[in-house]
Every structure is written in C-alpha cells, then in structure tokens.
Amino acid sequence: MMRNAVYPGTFDPVTNGHLDVIKRGSIIFDALIVSVGRNPLKEALFSVKERMEMIRGHVKELKNVEVDSFDGMLVDYLKKRKTNIILRGIRTVSDFEYEFQRALANRVLSKDVETVFVMTSEQYSFLNSTLIKEAVSLGGSVSQFVPLDVEKRLTQKFKKMHRKNDK
C-alpha cells in the first residue's frame, strides 16, 4: 500500500525550513503533496500561484513531490487527494502545542486522519515567514533563511509596496 501525505501550509514565502521538511518528508512517504492553503484569516504577501511557483522551483528534483493548492477544510482536501496523512514540521514546544490541538481537531472532523510530526533541523528552528517578511521590509538580508530567488521576490515585492506608499 502506498503511503501518501499532504504537507499543508501558507508558505508565504517558502523558507529553507519548509524545504527541509519537504525533503525529509519525500524520504518518509511514497508521495508527498505540498499544498498551499488559502487562509481567509491571513493576508498573504504572495498570491497562491506565486507561492506554488516558488516551491516548484525548489522541489523539481524530488520526483515524488507534487505542489498543489487548496481552500476550505483540510480534511476535505485529504479525502479529495485520497490520503489521510498530514505532515507537519515542528520547530518549538509552542509549535507542538498548536499543532497538537490542530491534529486533534482534524481527527474529530475525520476520525481516520493522522498527523505525522517532523522536527525541523536545528538551524531552522527559529524561522518563520513573518520574521523573514519583517526583516526584508526593513531592508535586511534573509539569504541564509530562504533561497536566493525567494529573497529577490521578497525584495521586489517590498520595493513596490514602498513606492506605492511613497506616492
């Protein structure tokens, strides 16, 4: 039996920490679907299409990894993709508490859903997309936290925003 999993997230933007979890998940599972979620409660910097492009550019060598998107309930998306496994990366104890609550809620919504947690590599344990966006918006370099093309996209996005605000 093939073991397929979904790694959901907003990936706004994709970080080296996300890519670490994707690479490790691709070893654990027969197929891994990295799925960019549309979260109506979060205002994304990048469009879903842009986020998918950034991820695809960095997983193309991983033959068992697919990039997709979804909106709505994750458990419904899992059924659509014919899997019951969610992959999640854990950086800190607070991540675990948050993810533990989500895993239990998903299991209540769909009793056969399982969540597999992967500890993020220690060099990425403090990374999050908000920190990265804040650093770039203030003119900082994030080249050690995201791939170079992602940093360039971030810089361009914030330059456009600053120009628009200056008018």
What positions carry a catalytic annotation?
18, 42, 91, 129
Q: Which two tokens stand for residue 46?
A: 């990048």
DSSP character string of 25-59: HHHHSSEEEEEEE--TTS--SS-HHHHHHHHHHHH
Q: Tell me if 63 sits within 8 A of 22, measured CB to CB.
A: no
Kindly report the number of other CB atoms within 10 A of residue 105's CB atom: 12
What value, to the nearest 5°, has the Cα angle with vertex 57 and ends 128 and 154?
45
Tell the residue number behind the tokens 């804040």, with chain if given: 134
Query: What span, in angstroms and rounded, lies between the C-alpha atoms of 19 and 13?
Result: 11
Closest CA to 21 of 3, 38, 34, 2: 34
